[in-house]
Amino acid sequence: MARNATVNQARALRRTAPASERFLWKLLRGRRLAGLKFRRQVPIGPYVVDFLCLSHRLILEADGPFHDPAYDAARDAWLTAKGFRILRLKNHEANSADQVFARIVDIIGDPKPIDSSLLPLAGEGVGEADG
**What whole-number distance in Å separates Cα of residue 105 and Cα of residue 56?**
11
Number of domains making up the chain: 1
Q: Is residue 80 part of a domain?
A: yes
Quick: pLDDT tens for 33-49. 878 899 998 999 999 89
Domain containing 22 — which CATH number?
3.40.960.10
Quick: pLDDT tens for 74-124. 999 999 999 999 999 887 787 788 888 888 888 888 655 444 554 444 444
Q: Is residue 24 part of a domain?
A: yes
For 31-75, the DSSP string reads GTTTT---EEEEEETTEEEEEEEGGGTEEEEEE-S---HHHHHHH
Q: Is residue 74 part of a domain?
A: yes
